[in-house]
């Protein structure tokens, strides 16, 4: 728009794992409520983030549900994830064999309160644990979902050593599929 002063509405923070980024939006709030942009291609590009998203997903889970750790092999998905309501502990694990940070993980609390988004790059495993009574979780993907291409690693693999905040939820609730995942040393 001509004459419009454009200010970037997002803050970008590196996580220490190459390509994994936290985005914080500017929130415009008053006594009526709030407004924010959750994604703006131009603003993200001005921060050096250039990804094309092809699919949006949303899930609803109850407290203690742990989903993950998942990835797609031949069709790796980058995911820009955020929480619409509730709170989750979100985790990405670098399993790119050529990466300097192979086997390392990063976790962050994402919530409807903090409104942060996390980008999990292609080639990473992804999972989350619901900390609130329930949570709505949304994410944008850089490739389509192919069920036959999915694999993953056990959420509690000792080689990775993720420090899940289980003291807040007790024993996690897992799908049968997630209970049967393999360990990091068996990933191809």
CATH number (domain holding residue 177):
2.60.120.10
Residue 103 resides in a domain: yes
Residue 51 resides in a domain: yes
- Nearest residue to 153 via CA among 109, 185, 131: 185
User: What is the domain range of residue 72?
Assistant: 10-186
Catalytic-residue membership of 145: no
pLDDT, residue 7, reads 60
**Confidence band of 8 (pLDDT split at 50, 70, 90):** confident
143 DSSP 8-state letter: S
Q: Is pLDDT above 60 for 188?
A: no
Cis, peptide link before residue 43, omega less than 30° from 0: no
Q: Point out the catalytic residue in the list 6, 28, 70, 144.
A: 70
Instruction: Give mean pLDDT, residues 48-55.
Output: 97
Q: Hey, CA dihedral for 61, 67, 71, 72, is it positive or negative?
A: negative
Residue 5 resides in a domain: no
Q: Point out the catalytic residue in the list 6, 75, 139, 145.
A: 139
Q: Is pLDDT above 80 for 6?
A: no
pTM recorded for the entire structure? 0.93
Q: Is pLDDT above 90 for 122?
A: yes
pLDDT, residue 35, reads 93
Percent of the chain with pLDDT over 70: 95
Residue 175 resides in a domain: yes
pLDDT, residue 184, reads 84
Catalytic-residue membership of 126: no
Instruction: Give mean pLDDT, residues 9-24.
Output: 96
User: Could you give the number of structural domains in the chain?
Assistant: 1
Question: Radius of gyration (Cα) for the chain, nearest Å?
Answer: 17
Q: Hey, CA dihedral for 99, 101, 103, 105, is it positive or negative?
A: negative
Instruction: Give mean pLDDT, residues 51-70.
Output: 98
pLDDT, residue 3, reads 43
Residue 3 resides in a domain: no
Residue 2 resides in a domain: no
Residue 4 resides in a domain: no
Residue 94 resides in a domain: yes
Per-chain mean pLDDT for the chain: 94
């Amino acid at each position: 728009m001509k004459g419009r002063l454009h200010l970037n509405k997002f803050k970008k923070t590196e996580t220490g794992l190459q390509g994994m980024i936290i985005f914080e939006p500017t929130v415009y709030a008053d006594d009526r409520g709030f407004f924010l942009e959750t994604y703006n291609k131009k603003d993200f590009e001005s921060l050096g983030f250039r990804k094309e998203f092809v699919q949006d997903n949303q899930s609803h889970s109850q407290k203690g549900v742990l989903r993950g750790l998942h990835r797609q092999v031949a069709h790796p998905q980058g995911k820009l994830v955020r929480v619409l309501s509730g709170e989750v502990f979100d985790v990405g694990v670098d399993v790119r064999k050529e990466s300097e940070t192979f086997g390392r993980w990063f976790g962050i609390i994402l919530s409807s309160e903090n409104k942060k988004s996390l980008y999990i790059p292609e080639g990473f495993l992804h999972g989350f644990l619901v900390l609130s009574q329930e949570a709505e979780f949304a994410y944008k993907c850089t490739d389509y979902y192919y069920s036959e291409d999915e694999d993953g690693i056990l959420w509690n693999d000792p080689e990775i050593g993720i420090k899940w905040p289980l003291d807040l939820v007790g024993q996690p609730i897992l799908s049968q599929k997630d209970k049967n995942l393999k360990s990091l040393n068996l990933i191809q």
